[in-house]
A = this chain, B = another copy of it.
Amino acid sequence: MPLFSSTYTNKVDKKGRVSVPASFRSTLPSDDQSISVVPSLVSKAIEGFDCSYLVQISERLDNYDMLTVSGQPSNPAVKILSRSMTLSIDSDGRIVLPQEFMKHAGISDRAVFVGLGKTFQIWSPEEHKAVMGQGEGELM
């Protein structure tokens, strides 16, 4: 399976430990069972992807000026790279979500994994329902 797809809801325990859906794991290279995550720049969610994906993002940096005249980063790639973390998947197929990330996404005891092809997102059930529902979330 080459892409992240479908939607799964898994439990998060007190330590922030949560299973990565098996189908997501199988899309990762077998020699590097880890993922990169970053708080979404546009929504209350966590973005996740294969670690090699970060390389592609960093290459974008080479084509842009790092800073504007005001001294602020002009390129979203700067924010992504500087805020991302790499989480290793343990032998049971789980990761530990950092507290800051859980707070950003409003996650407490459940996490919704949403496959988006080359990337995926992690939402709280409440936020996910709210956002997906507004965009004609119902299937018919």
**Which residues from chain A sit less than 8 Å from chain B, CB to CB?**
1-7, 23, 34, 36, 38-44, 47, 51, 53-61, 63-64, 66-69, 71-74, 76-86, 104, 114-119, 121, 131-132, 134-137, 139-140
| Dominant secondary structure at the A interface | mixed
A118 and B66 within 8 A (CB) = yes
Among all A-B residue pairs, the 10 with the closest Cβ atoms: A58-B117, A74-B135, A73-B135, A6-B85, A5-B84, A82-B114, A39-B139, A73-B132, A81-B117, A81-B116
Given A41-B67, A53-B63, A74-B135, output 4 extra A-B contacts at Cβ < 8 Å: A1-B34, A1-B51, A5-B82, A66-B117
